[in-house]
Amino acid sequence: MNKIDASGAILIGGNSRRFGLDKSKLDWQGTALPVSLFHRLDTILTEVFFIADHKEKINGFQQYMFTDILTNNGPLGGIHSALKHSHYDYTFITAGDLPFLDTALIPLLFNEIQDEDALVPVWGTNMEPLVAFYHKRCLPVLEEELKQQQREVHASLKKLTTQFLDLTRYYTIPQIKKIFFNINQPEDYQQALKMI
């Protein structure tokens, strides 16, 4: 299968306050959860890397690890850093704590892009800006937002040309809930292990 000419950035910069431990070290079927995501994205996207708070986040992956350019700015800062480091116009952004991310979703989203600044999946009243494509054109807006200490991704999307793609056209609600199941707390991790 030909890879998509786009980047993939896995955000693992959070400090895991709710979980209590560094989630980037969570074991997922014999490897760290973000590494599992890396290998899956690497089969689809031409370039894949991590955005983290320090380069030693995952042993053996330093060459694929970039640190936040504007630190302590949450996911919006991570998206900004990913676009800065990307070699392609579009970058697929994903959080590093999604064990059941369906990789078929990535080409589905990419093929729906019509030159927007961002393409973000939605379902019902839920918006998923951390499983979405962003264009390098977003950078000036994101930099201005961060300079103004505005860190909410949802608010920034209103200042971009954004397409919101209804995922219920392609998946059932139970499928969507599993795709976006993320590990925030220890009980989430235990539930995810049962869902394998």
CATH number for 188: 3.90.550.10
User: How far apart (Å, rounded) are the C-alpha atoms in residues 94 and 60?
Assistant: 21
The total domain count for the chain is 1
pLDDT of residue 54: 76
For the stretch 149-194, pLDDT in tens is 999 999 999 999 999 999 999 999 999 999 999 998 889 999 999 9
What are the tokens at 68? Answer: 């936040």
User: How far apart (Å, rounded) are the C-alpha atoms in residues 141 and 82?
Assistant: 14
For the stretch 83-108, pLDDT in tens is 999 999 999 999 999 999 999 999 99
Per 3-state DSSP, what percentage of the chain is helix, strand, and coil (rounded to 5)? Answer: 35, 25, 40
- Tell me the backbone φ, ψ of residue 76, rounded to 5 degrees: -65, -40
Q: What range does the domain containing 56 cover? A: 4-195
Q: Indicate whether 15 pLDDT > 60.
A: no
Q: Whole-prediction pTM value?
A: 0.94
Residues 53-65 as b or e (16 or more Cβ within 10 Å = b): beeebbeebeebb
- Indicate the pairing of strand 131-135 with strand 90-95: antiparallel
